[in-house]
């Protein structure tokens, strides 16, 4: 157990940040899962509707350090590619 005031505060801050990061990571996973399910169902309209929200959450997760920047780019690239294959290049661009 920490004895110094600063160490005790650091422990409290770490616990709070861990809880926040857990919520954010869960939200990210759920959003990506919803997008993938829409793509698997071949529901282009639903996937198109989910795309901006998904990209926003992925970008914010990268900004917050939940995932790395290149991981975010890879998620976005692969999801967008699948959407383009589903709906045709003219509509998804």
- For the chain, domain boundaries: 27-92
How confident is the model at residue 2, as a pLDDT?
76
In 3-state terms, what secondary structure has residue 69?
A: helix
Half-sphere exposure in the Cβ direction for 36 (13 Å, CA): 10
Q: Predicted confidence band at 88 (pLDDT cuts at 50, 70, 90)?
A: confident
Could you give the C-alpha distances from 61 to 57, 66, 91, in angstroms and in order? 6, 5, 27
Whether the Cβ atoms of residue 76 and residue 55 lie closer than 8 Å to each other: yes
pLDDT at 91: 54
Q: How do residues 28-77 score in pLDDT, each as one tens digit?
A: 999 999 999 999 999 999 999 999 999 999 999 999 999 999 999 999 99
What one-character-per-residue DSSP string does 12-52 give? HHHHHHHHHHHHHHHHHHHHHHHHHHHHHTT-HHHHHHHHH
């Amino acid at each position: 157990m920490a004895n110094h005031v600063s160490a005790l505060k650091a422990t409290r801050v770490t616990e709070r940040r861990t809880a926040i990061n857990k919520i954010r990571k869960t939200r990210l996973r759920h959003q990506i899962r919803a997008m993938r399910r829409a793509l698997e169902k071949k529901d282009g309209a639903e996937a198109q509707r989910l795309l901006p929200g998904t990209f926003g959450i992925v970008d914010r997760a990268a900004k917050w350090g939940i995932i790395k920047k290149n991981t975010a780019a890879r998620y976005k690239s692969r999801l967008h590619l699948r959407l383009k294959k589903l709906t045709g290049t003219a509509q998804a661009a």
